[in-house]
Every structure is written in structure tokens, then in C-alpha cells.
Chain A
Amino acid sequence: MAELIVHEEDYRGELDLQLWKRIARHALPFKGSLVGLMVNGAVVATVDVLQPIVTAGLIDEATKGEAADRTRLILLGGAYLALIVLICISINLFIRQAGRVATGVAFDLRMKGFRRLQELSFSYFDVRPVGWLVARLTSDCSKVSSLMPWFLLDLVWGSCLITGIIAAMFWLDWRLALVVLCIVPPLVLATIFFKKRLLESSRMVRKTNSQITAGFNECITGVRTTKSLVREEANLEEFQELTNSMFLHSVRNALQSAVYLPIVISLGSIGLGLALWRGGIDVSAATGLTFGTLVAFMQYAGLLHMPIQELATRFTDLQAAQAAAERIQSLLDTEADIRDSDAVTARVAAAKPAPGDAIDGEPARIRDIEFRNVSFAYKENEPVITDLNLRIPAGTTVALVGATGGGKSTIVNLLSRFYEPTGGEILMNGVEYRERPLDWLHGSLGIVLQTPYLFSGTILENIRYGRLDATDAEVYAAAEIVNAHAFISRLPDGYSSEVGESGGLLSTGQRQLIALARAVLADPQIFIMDEATSSVDTETERLIQDGIDAALADRTAFVIAHRLSTIRSADVILVIDRGRIIERGNHESLMAKDGHYAQLYRKQFVSEREHAVLEGQPAQKEQ
């Protein structure tokens, strides 16, 4: 995780063309708009080049005074206006086309990224904070997609404009053109020199800025600790180091701009001076150079820096967005490590399942589950589960007990195929579960997590998440089974009550009941539950306990159990320690054995009773 984040701000100085080629492919569906962009870019550049020429024609005609040809003047004037209208239409069109490409590519990238994230396995999410992933689909996608059309447009516009200006100048007067073009090499050099530095300094500004945000975050969330440690002064001093470096980087960035822009503009003016000098000599020597042409040259001299500057900006944008592009592409390139094998996919495609069959044509019903010599490690040489053997017939409730970190969660994650064993195999109906489709297995499970997660929306929507086509009546029935109906009915909006972000408007106990109802509604073949340890008042505790009992009745179930009543009523209790089953049996047999289980049981017994005494009355919350 640390690595991932540290590299976030990194960028390589070199442009990675391979990467950008792959990124550019995402814009291919918008061919029409892309072509339109190029056409309009070329049109705008052409108009930019033609305007001084038309002005020159007007001037030359007008300077003839009495001899001026009126129709020619009107014609040229008309052309001037036509060019203006044309360029404005082009501008309008290319912004719309750029919008179509930018918003379309962003939409597509987000869809692709989102779909990919739905496929990836737990191990991917274990090491990446949610906020980090969200930023990939939001800001990174915007950055990359909005850059593409403008890059293309400016590439076409800029190169057309430079060639156009040069061509026009040579056409008008090649010697004068050579003189004025002297300013191009220094323009290019200055631009490259400063853009590189600007890129670097603005990167530092962004980086420091995110450190400052982190600083404020710490300042606010840790305010009590800071007060109790009397660290206000020391914190401020450390924060001042950040603001100082922010000051330095921002000023450096601003100074680079403050030097660069005058240099570019001065070079333009110097071009103008050169035109005036050489052109003036020609005009006064009457070599045929007209005033109109002289004015046109002076205008071109002022225009030259624009395409160069713009092109350079786009290339630095590309460089600045490279890290974002890399991150998006790497997300899209990540293959889910747990997915159906090709053989399974082929079987699913060929199967014509009869009623009662799964999508691969094999029976959908799970009759028994077997762990055979199963071992698992997240990292090599750090086994979490070692040589686990277990056989559970359908209808059995299995309670997993033992200390935190012993491997209980890993066992249920393996069973759910959120992870796959690194050794041994898991069999369902005697068939290795990797030879059955993932969708079938996941469709057969109902899972209640320790910290139940609710999506913002109504209670009804949240319960219905268990089975999307459930009727309202079925939702109520599920709530009834787990004792949730009563409290829901007491809420002002009943089932239509909003649960808030992450269910924040409900109490912990209420969230647990709704998560239970959700799983019960799914009516799964295998019920998997990680019992919550968080404390709720006794009344809710009793409701939850009864709800769990109802949910588990006559079902194959794996429960990471903390409540005595759940543990006692299990058919099989497994005591898990350091990745192994150290005791197994039912409550009576294990108590009689007076081993680890008996010890655990007694501790839990005391703590539940203590809890009942201390939290007995519905507590008035201490703030």
C-alpha cells in the first residue's frame, strides 16, 4: 500500500508513446468528432493566416486613394467578414466536438474501470484504500479524457498555423520572411526551457498542496490529542515548514511564468522590429513591397509565438497526465486472479440447464462441502491456513471460534472463493469448486459481514439488495423473520426511511438486523456470517440473537461466532488457532474436554454478563 501511494505523484520525464497510443485507442469510437476536430483546427489556422493577407489587400487598395477600386474594397471587406463568421462557427463546432470526445471517453473509461473493479478479487482491494481507487475513476479519467481532444486540435491547428504563416510570408516576400523567421529558434528554445521547469515546479506545488491538506486533516481530526499533549506550538512550527515550501514552490512557479511570457512577447516584438527595419528599407526603395504586406508581416511576427506556445503546453499537459494515464491503463490491464477457467466458461456457454441445474448444466444443489488438505498464504512462507481437512453435509451449522488472526475469516473467504487455496482443494458435491462457475457459487451464498455495510437509500432498497425481484411483501417477511420488522415499522417513514451514508442514520444494532434480513431474503444454500462483536444494548442484543437463530435454522451455515447462544446451538464447533483446527465437536463434548474451547467459552460467558449489567439500560449517549 505504501508503495502505491508514494508513486502517485511520480512522473517520468520521457513521454511514453506506447502508453499514449494505447490510451488514444479509447477515443476511436468517436471518429466523427475527431475528424471534425481536425478539420476545424485546420480551418481556424487557415483563417488566422488569411486575415492579415486580406487586411494587406485592403490597405494596399485603400492607399491608392482616389484610384481605389471600390468593388475590390467591398469584396475584400466582405471576405474579411466572412472569415470572421467562418472562424466563429469553427470555434463553436470544435468546442462541441472536443466536448463530445472528452465526455464520451471519460464515460467509457469510467464504465470499463468500474466493470473491471467489480471483477477483481479481494486481494486487489486489500492493499488499496478506497479513496485511492475512487480517484482513479474520477480525477484521473477526467484528466486523461479532457486532454485528448485538445491535444489533437492544437496539434493540427498549431502545425497548420506555423506552416501557413511561413508559407504566406514566403509567398509575400521570401527575403523578408527569412529575416522575420530568425525569432523562431529562440522562441522554440525558450519555450522548451521554461515549459520543462514549469512542469516540474507546478508538480511540486500540487504535491505540497496535498501535504497541506493532509496537515489540516491531521490538525482537525487530532485536535483533542494535540490539546492533551500541548503540541499546538510544535504542530504549528512543523506546519510552517509546509507553508514555507508551498510559498517557495508557488513563487518559483509564478516567477517562471513571469519570465517566460515577457520573453515570448519580446521575441514577437523583435520580429516586428526586424520586419519594420528590412521592410521599411524595401518600401522606401520601392522594390515592390507594399505597405499592406509590411503590416501583414508585422502581424505575423506577433502571431508566431502562439502555436509554439500552445503546442508546448499540450505536450507538457501530456507529460503531467502521464501518471494518471498509466494508472488507468494498469487498472484496465489488471486481470482478475479469481475467475472462471476457460473450460468452465466453455461449459457454461454450451450448457442447456434444466430446472434445478446451475448455469453450467450441473446440479445447482449443494449436498456437501469438503476441505481437503487446504492451505493458504497471502505471502509466501507466511501460511495462514495449514493443511485443513473438513467435511460438512448440507444442513449443518458450523461455528468457527478462536482468537483474532487465527484464520477464521480466511476459512470463510476460501469457502466463498473470494480467495482460492494455495494448496489442497475445496470440493462441492465431490467436485473441485474451481471447476464450477463463480456466478453459481456466489449466487448460492448469503453473507453477513461483521461490520454490515448498507448503501445509502431506503431500508426497503437495502433489504431488497438480497434478491432484486423480491416483492414488498417478501421483503417484509424477511424483516419479520429476523425481528427487524418491529423497529422498522416504528420509524416515521417505515421501510421508506433513508439509512444515510453507510447506514449512518441507523444504530449499529439496526444495521445488523437489516443486513440479516438482506441475507435471509436471498434465501441462500449456504449462509455465511461473521458475527459482530460491537456492543449494543441488551434489548437489541436479544433481537439480533433471535434473528440469527431464525436465519440459521435448517441451513448449511458457517458462522464466525462470538455469541454464546450461536455457538451453543451450532452442530459443529471448530476451534481455530494459527491456521489449524485445534478442537472440534459440539458444545457438550468440547466442554467435557475442558480444553481451549472451555476456556474461551468461560471468558465469553463472563464478558457477556458484564456487558449485560453495564449496558443493560438503553444508554443515554455520552457525547
Chain B
Amino acid sequence: MLTKLHAIWQLMEGQRLRYGAAVAALVLASCFLYLVPLVPQIVIDGVLLDSTATPSRVVTHGVALLGGAEFLKHNLWWPALVIAVITVCAGVFTYLRGRLSALAAEEIARGLRERFYDHVQHLPCRYFDTVETGDLIQRCTSDVETIRTFLSTQIVEIGRAVLMLLIPIPLMLLIDLRMTLASLVLVPPVVIFSFAYFFRIRRVFKDKDEAEGVMTATIQQNLTGIRVVKAFNRASFETNRFEGHNRVHRELDYRLYALFADYWSVSDLLCFLQRAVVVGVGIVLVAMGELPIGAFFFFLSAVSMFIWPVRMMGRILSELGKSLVALERIEEILHEERESCAATDLRPELEGEITFEHVTFHHGAGQAVLEDVSFSVTPGETLAIIGPSGSGKSTIVNLLLRFYDYESGSIRLDGHELTTLARDHVRASMAVVMQEPFLYSRSLGDNITIGRADAHNEEMVEAATVASIHESIERFEDGYQTLVGERGVTLSGGQRQRVALARALLTRPAVLVLDDALRAVDTETEAAIIEALQSRHGQQTTLIIAHRISTLMHADRILVLEDGRIAQQGTHDELRSTDGLYRRLLEIQASGVDELVGATGGTDHG
């Protein structure tokens, strides 16, 4: 508990002064609020009433303060004006309290969101391999929101309830001890009942949330699979199934209403009874001539002012658990370690010379994904990598981009050991196109220029043209302004790959990496892209990972990867004449031609 309080205190850093000021404003506002019913008490008991009961010192002092009984008797507008002034003061401080606590809470929430965003961006790739995206997003959004509510509302409400309860006590004691006790007698039961009730029905909330989850999932599945539903004519089956879940949800939802009905009516009863106790004791005392009416009015007003916030407090206290859980979940992520920085963090100008020397890499404790891999690429050279899936092709790219760090062997860029170079510098000097590229939900143009914001329009169009996506983009109504994603167009896999390729080309990297980046692109388009890339040969070091011979046969050198090891390497011509995977693939190509030739005795379509 203490550590959690400490964590909350830590969160408030930078805003503690504001919170302090908010508390001060809250104290002042509460004081003023209780002065409001005090004025009628002073006027009634000190001026209007000739009672047998001796007015309390509060009243005599008050009367004196307001100008004496005689003056007041003939100028009743004066106490009315005093009330107005007091309420305005109370209002001003209430406003200040609201303003200060809102500023503090929102400032903390903003800081937390930004810290989170920044932190998540800098977590290592390994972290994302193990974590569930949905859960992470939940922590970033609803957990942060829970904390914000806690800071902006819950803390404030609890503080308000405590102060509203404590501030009138000295005043009440000065006026009448018996009435004070009568006013407070049911406060503990109200708090305890509210707290205990909500604490006990937590389970039902959870059940209802789960039922809602099941119902939502049913709808989600039905709609995602609506084509299957229609294909098998299963509308009524689906409707019946949904009706069941819908019914369960309705029943649990109603149960919550019923529980709330009991909570509100019982706690209201307690609160009303508290007032009834005040009325009962007060009336008896008034009748006995021991309590002036003004004092009675004051107690009645005071009870009405604090009993409802106090009830609220019980409920909020029972919900604090949730906020603390959210806090824990958030801290958990913030304590994850970021990508490490090297001590040296060199940032030399890079030309694109790559050397792998005896590199071995494991994923966790499992089998090696790469084993003793050595090769090198000179600046401007094009290296192609081919191999069955699972042979470690993408791992080479991941290591090169420092998404993961290798365990043994050495990877060097322009002779610098990769781990001595700054991560962002390594990545900035490379451009990678992945098999399933990610596009940002902004315009196509922005997506292409995102790697180099200062690119000219012509350069963007040129990159798009090389990537064979320019014409497709022009065909959209809004051209390069067309939005990608939910709010815009849905692109096919091939189109996304080509946009990503344009994006990569535009950055003019020292090293261009195509990680099976043309898989979803049809053969004709692919040929055009390869040809365009050929014409840029020498401008950058290029790594191409591909499945089709046609994609990589023009590379300067070809690496055949099998089971994490380099099985063969050489030029197209060299590999053609050696027995191995590459030659087998080539033979298949040829046999395709043969098949056709055999069937038709005709043309060669290369």
C-alpha cells in the first residue's frame, strides 16, 4: 500500500504545488459554504427570536460582527447581502479548486500519455514479439484514462468529502454538543455501507462485463463470417445463438440495476434517517426550549451538505482498487527496458559495405536461426538471398537493422562493428521494405515522403514511378492526397508493397533491403520494378530476399540459405552450373517452358 501511495505521489511530480493550492481553495470554499447557513442562524436566533434558549457564543459574536441586533432588525437586506457575498466567495474558490485540480490532472495525464508513447516506441522488438497488441493498447488508453479519472475526480471527491465532514465539526461543537453528536451518528454506517456494498458486488460488475464481451464477440464473429452464414443459410441459427447471449447479458445487466436499486434506496434511507435524527433531536430540544430555531436550521443544512459527499466517498473508496490495478499495469510497462544504447554510439557517414562474420543467432533458447553465417557486400553491390521459409532470411535483415542483437560473430557496416553504431543512425542509413509493410493512416503522398519530408514533388513521383505505383495512385480520385486505412482506401497487398517500396527509394539509403517485398506483386509489374531497380544499380547497396528466380537472377551475387546456414553463394552463372537448390529452381522454370513447348510446339514467353 505504501509503495502505491508512493507511486501516486511520484505521478504528481511537477503538479504537487497545484494540488496543494487546490486543497487550500477547497478548504476555503468549504468554510464559506458553511458560513451560508450560519448567517440565517445568527439572524434568526440573535435578532428575530425572543427565545428562552440562550443563543450560543457563535450567534452573539455573529450578531456583533454583523453590526448589532438593532441595526440588523431594521436592515435585513444586510445579512442577505452578506450571504450573497459569501456564496460568491465560495463560488470563486470552488471554481479555483476545479480549475487547479483539472489543470493538474490533465497535465499529468498528458505527461503520462506522452511518456507512454515515447517509451513504447523505444521498446526493443523482442518485447513486441511476446506482448499482445490489444492488451498493450488497453494499457495505453483505458488504464491511463482510469488514472486520469482517479487524479481529476476521485482524489478530489474524497478530499472534498473529508473536508466537508471535518470543517463544520468545530463550528457545530461550539453551537451545541448534543446536536453535533446527533448529526454525526449515522456517518460511519453510511460510509461503511457504501464501501462494503460496492466491494461485495464487484463480482457482478465483472460478470456483466464478461457477458457483454461474449455478446460483442458473438456479433463480431457473425459479421466477420457473414459470408459463411449466408453461404450456409444459417441466419436463424445465428439469431438463436445470439439471442441466448443477448439474454444472458440482459439478465446480468438487470441484476446490476436491481443491486443499484437496493444500494441507492438503502443508502438514501440511511442519509434521510441521519437528517431525521437531526430533526427529531432538534425538535425535542427546541420544544424543551434548549435549542434556538436558527441553530436547528444550521444543523439541518449542515447535515444535508456533508451526508451526500460522505456517501459518495464510501463508493469511491471501494473503486480505488481498480485505479491501483491500472497504476500497476502502467508501471509495469514503464519499467520495461528500452533498446540499449552503445557506449560509443558512433555516427559515421556510411557507404553501405556490409560484412557478416561467423554470425550465430538464437530466438530464446531454441534452435539456432542463423548459424555461422559469413558473407560480405561491397557498396553499390546487389546481393540476393533465397531459401525455404524458416531458413533465416528475415533474421539477417532483423540483425542488420539492429532489431535484434547478435550473440556471437561480428557484423560490420563500413568496417564499424554494428553494436558500436547508434541504432537510429544504422536504421536511417538503410531502407527496408517488408513483406507486409505498414502504412500510416495518412495520405499516400505523406506515406511516400514520410522518410524524407524535404523531398520535392517530382522526387516523390519519380520514386512512385520506379515502384510502379504512380499510375494506380493517379487513378484514385484524390491522387496522392488519398487517405490510407479506415478513413480512406483499402489497398491490396501488392499496392501496399509498392507504396512501401516508393517510400524506401525516396530516402536514398546507403542500403536498400527488400525482404520478400514483391511477393504480392504480380509477375509483370515485378519485372518492371526489377528493371527500374537495375537501372539504379550501383547507387546503393541492395539486399533482395525473394522466392522467385526471376526476381533475383540479375543480382551481382546470390546467397542460398538453408536451415540457417549458407548452402551456396555465387553469381547466377556460377550457381547454374553447380548442383543445389538454385539449379533445381532454374530447372523448374525451364520445365515450365518445356511443358508449354511440349503441349503446343510453340512460342517462348521467357
Contacts and interface: CB of A to CB of B under 8 A. Distances in A.
Interface stretch (A156-164, A277-285, A362-370, A571-579): A277-285
Interface in B227-256: 227-235, 237-239, 242-243, 246-247, 249-251, 253-254, 256
Interface in B72-122: 73, 76-77, 79-84, 86-88, 90-92, 94-95, 97-99, 102-103, 106-107, 109-110, 113-114, 116-118, 120-122
Nearest to B605: A599
Interface residues of B, number: 172
B265 A88 contact: yes
Contact of A254 (B98, B118, B125, B301): B98
A294 B293 CA distance: 11
Contacts of A617: 388
A453 interface: yes
B438 A84 contact: no
B6 interface: no
B20 interface: no
Contacts of B547: 610, 614
Interface in A452-487: 453-456, 465-466, 468
Contact of B390 (A119, A273, A620): A620
A184 B121 CA distance: 55
Given A231-B450, A592-B599, A592-B600, A623 B296 contact: no
Interface string A415-444: 010100000000000000000000100110
B394 interface: yes
A291 interface: yes
Interface string B259-288: 011101110110011001001100110110
A64 B258 CA distance: 45
Contacts of A609: 588, 591-592
B457 interface: no
Shortest Cβ-Cβ A-B pairs, 6 listed: A99-B257, A258-B98, A262-B91, A254-B102, A447-B231, A95-B261
Sorting the interface of chain A by its residue count into under 10, 10 to 19, 20 to 34 or 35 or more gives 35 or more
A92 B264 contact: yes
A378 to B, nearest CB: 14
B110 A614 contact: no
B451 interface: yes
B190 interface: no
B150 to A, nearest CB: 14
Interface stretch (B135-143, B161-169, B313-321): B135-143
Contact of B117 (A2, A84, A133, A239): A239
Interface string B555-595: 00000000000000000000000000100110011011101
6 contacts: A88-B265, A250-B109, A266-B91, A274-B80, A453-B228, A594-B603
B297 interface: yes
Contacts of B283: 58-59, 61-62, 73, 77
Interface in A1-42: 1-2, 5-6
Given A59-B286, A114-B242, A138-B212, A236 B117 contact: yes
A221 B589 contact: no
A222 B440 contact: yes
Contacts of A62: 283-284, 286-287
Contacts of A236: 114, 117-118, 121
A281 B75 CA distance: 9
Interface stretch (A240-248, A326-334, A554-562): A240-248
A606 B592 contact: yes
Interface string B124-151: 0100110001001100110001000000
B595 A605 contact: yes
Given A403-B522, A455-B225, A614-B389, A228 B122 contact: no
Q: Chain A CB within 10 Å — which of B215, B237, B283, B289 has the most?
A: B283
Nearest to B263: A95
B268 to A, nearest CB: 5
B103 A251 contact: yes
A229 B513 CA distance: 13
A545 interface: no
B223 interface: yes
A contact face: mostly helix, strand, loop, or mixed: helix
B432 A228 contact: yes
A118 B228 CA distance: 11
A622 B396 CA distance: 11
A213 B276 contact: no
Interface string B331-373: 0000000000000000000000000000000010001010000
Given A254-B152, A620-B390, A442 B221 contact: no
A449 B279 contact: no
Interface in A206-226: 209, 212-226
Interface stretch (B170-178, B180-188, B374-382, B480-488): B480-488
Contacts of A80: 276, 279
Nearest to B88: A266
A237 to B, nearest CB: 10
A598 B600 contact: yes
B554 to A, nearest CB: 17
B231 A613 contact: no
Contact of B90 (A99, A234, A262, A594): A262
Nearest to B100: A258
B441 interface: yes
Interface stretch (A100-108, A313-321, A389-397): A100-108
B460 interface: no
A603 B592 contact: yes
Given A2-B483, A125-B223, A622-B395, A255 B265 contact: no
A177 B83 CA distance: 19
A591 interface: yes
B228 A255 contact: no
Contact of B133 (A85, A221, A453): A221
A602 interface: yes
A442 B438 contact: no
Given A213-B141, A215-B117, A445 B231 contact: yes
B588 A610 contact: yes
B427 A269 contact: no
Contact of B388 (A117, A209, A449, A616): A616
A255 B98 contact: yes
B99 A258 contact: yes
Nearest to B86: A269
Contacts of B44: 280, 291, 294
B487 A2 contact: yes
A110 interface: yes
A371 B603 CA distance: 35
A353 interface: no
Given A118-B229, A133-B219, A295-B296, 20 more contacts: A2-B483, A66-B289, A73-B287, A103-B253, A110-B242, A134-B220, A134-B223, A216-B117, A227-B427, A228-B427, A243-B113, A261-B94, A269-B86, A273-B39, A443-B233, A449-B227, A594-B599, A613-B388, A619-B389, A622-B390
Contacts of A114: 219, 222, 238-239, 242, 246
B48 A218 contact: no
Contacts of A262: 90-92, 94-95
Contacts of A416: 231
B199 interface: no
Contacts of A266: 84, 87-88, 90-91
Give the most central of B76, B266, B593: most A CB within 10 Å. B76
Contacts of A134: 216, 219-220, 223
B588 to A, nearest CB: 4
Nearest to B593: A602
